[in-house]
Structure 1
Amino acid sequence: MHMCGELAPPHKLNHVSGAALQMQRELQWLKEMEMFVNPSRRTWYNSDDKTPQMLFSENHEKLKSQGEQWMKDTATSCSIAAALIVTVVFAAAFTVPGGVHSETGVPVFVEKSSFIIFAMSDTISMFTSATSLLMFVSILTSRYAEQDFLYVLPKRLCIGLLTLFTSITFMIGAFTAAMYTTLKEKSNLFLIPVALLACLPVTSFVLLQFPLLIAVMYSTYGRGIFGKKSDRREDCNKNQRKQWLSTSIRW
């Protein structure tokens, strides 16, 4: 347990991208090793009168600060994009393609299926971008406690990135549907390059941010550090509990 309180060497930390995920992996090592020892031994003191948790906090203070800064920078950048999307799709809801009838206020193209697609895409993009913005704001205002790097902060980052990706996709879908509704009767050739260019922002986001999302999801929700050895770990815990109980009875 005290050995897990030491900071991993740089060549091991560099296998994980991002200081926050490195801090998460260090916490996972500590939590995994806690399952191998009896609860009474998790608070033992070493020769310096330090418990494993005290030693971990002392050796990982710098990495914790770096992880906090990395998380804040990522959340700030993504929150700006989410705020811009919220502004755009909110305004698009009141400036529908083709306008509205002056007498009734009903949209002109309300009967067209492409307009329904526009309305649904704009609505989904609005709510997902607002959710993404709230997630990133919650990251910025988090207390950044040591244990938050294990699950709380990565979970919020996953939700924020997923909803941001969804909002970008449906925003582009709403734009494409609006162009199709407006220009279908006038120029069909213009719609082909619009559809091709609409894939550019989504593809760019996938190439730039999707690897980060996959890394966070795999590190948070994937298999543990010991992979498929979870059954073996449970058997080890059972054997240790039996030995501890038999020792207690004998004493």
Structure 2
Amino acid sequence: MGTSNKSFRNSIIEAVRQDKYEVVDEILFKSPSAFNCKNEQGYNIIQLAVINRSEKVYNLIYHITESYREIEDSSRNNLVHLVGRLAPSFVLDRTTGAALQLQRELLWREKLMLPLLLLQENDNKETPSMVFTREHQDLLKQGEGWMKQTAESCSITAALIVTVVFAAAITVPGGSDQQYGIPVLKKEFAFTVFAVSNALSLFTATTALLLFLSILTTRFSERDFRVSLPRRLIFGLLMLFLSTTAMIVAFCAILFLVFCDQRPWMLAPICVLACLPISVIVTIKLPLLVDLIRSTYVPIFGKQSYLEFCKINRGNTIFMK
């Protein structure tokens, strides 16, 4: 390792640890041999990118060498063994919720799950699957608790909405005709809005409730946290948002029918107050929904837009020593 390598060693190792791909790109562009830098434990930058879950750095450098799949450390841990270790706490803290943290760990494992390496044993006679299960057993329990707590809180809200809108559905505003049982206000546009919104709220809230209950009754295995459980929670939250909005619209339609016919000035404060509960539930649950969608459906590996501006020539292959 030359003098140039030594001068870049600490910088590139810290940049890999913090996933600063711009710094890694600049160093490798100026000194390609810096690719062979290792830390005190003997880990090179590809191994460090895997250990620290630095996906941007990994996307930048994994294509440089043809032999990275066979890399082993002093304890005969290959890359799949290393990805089976629990990520550092500062990496886990980037993701909200133990379930999403476990999902991100499973995504890394899925990316590096190479058939030739899955059955290899390290010095402790452990396969990569054994390492992953041992290292993540506490996170699995935390993810199960987080998922159950989230589903329970949302299911209570969904159950309350179902109760309210069902009671409103059988209590027709304005009453019904005594002879035929037809609603008196059925020709009013606001009544149509009420009927449609109330029905929509009932159906979506029921769907959300069933989705949340399905989460509570699942087996909570490792693979369920990859797609199955997050997807149920995503659709459950979407149905909950829709049912809440539809319920508020239906209630506003009732108020308009009862009060605003002779007092049109009441329409403005009703609309303003109607936005309050909708904004509250969106403010509380929308960040979670965005995190779930991003973590489940937005890829973090492969061709990324930020790689287009990198200086490293992908045509050059650097072989590790």
Same fold (TM over 0.5): yes
Aligned to 2:89: 10
* Separation in structure 1 between the aligned mates of residue 128 and residue 298 of structure 2, nearest angstrom: 26
Aligned to 1:66: 142
- The equivalences for 1:145-156 within 5 A come to 145-156=221-232
Q: Deviations over 1:179-227 (max 9, x none)?
A: 1122232211222111110000111111111000000010001123456
| Higher RCO (C-alpha under 8 Å, 6+ residues apart) | 1
From 200, 211, 217, the counterpart of 2:293: 217
From 106, 110, 113, the counterpart of 1:27: 106
RMSD: 1.9
1:228: Cα distance to partner?
2.3
Asked if 1:193 is matched to 2:257, the reply is no
Asked if 1:82 is matched to 2:158, the reply is yes
Between Structure 1 and Structure 2, which shows a larger proportion of helix residues?
1
Indicate the structure (1 or 2) with the bigger Cα radius of gyration: 2
Aligned to 1:121: 197
* Separation in structure 2 between the aligned mates of residue 78 and residue 199 of structure 1, nearest angstrom: 20
SS at match of 2:82: coil
* Separation in structure 2 between the aligned mates of residue 134 and residue 196 of structure 1, nearest angstrom: 31
More displaced 10-residue stretch of structure 1: 144-153 or 185-194: 185-194
* Separation in structure 2 between the aligned mates of residue 130 and residue 224 of structure 1, nearest angstrom: 34
Query: What one-letter code is carried by the residue in structure 2 that aligns with 1:62?
Result: D
* Separation in structure 1 between the aligned mates of residue 295 and residue 136 of structure 2, nearest angstrom: 19
1:40: Cα distance to partner?
2.5
Aligned to 1:135: 211
From 112, 124, 141, the counterpart of 1:48: 124
More displaced 10-residue stretch of structure 1: 83-92 or 189-198: 189-198
- The equivalences for 1:105-120 within 5 A come to 105-120=181-196
SS at match of 1:107: coil
* Separation in structure 2 between the aligned mates of residue 218 and residue 97 of structure 1, nearest angstrom: 42
* Separation in structure 2 between the aligned mates of residue 155 and residue 59 of structure 1, nearest angstrom: 25
In structure 2, the gaps of 5 or more residues are 1-79, 306-321
Asked if 1:158 is matched to 2:234, the reply is yes
1:50: Cα distance to partner?
1.2
In the comparison of the two structures, how many residue pairs are matched? Answer: 230
SS at match of 1:58: helix
* Separation in structure 2 between the aligned mates of residue 151 and residue 28 of structure 1, nearest angstrom: 10
Per the normalisation by structure 1, the TM-score is: 0.88
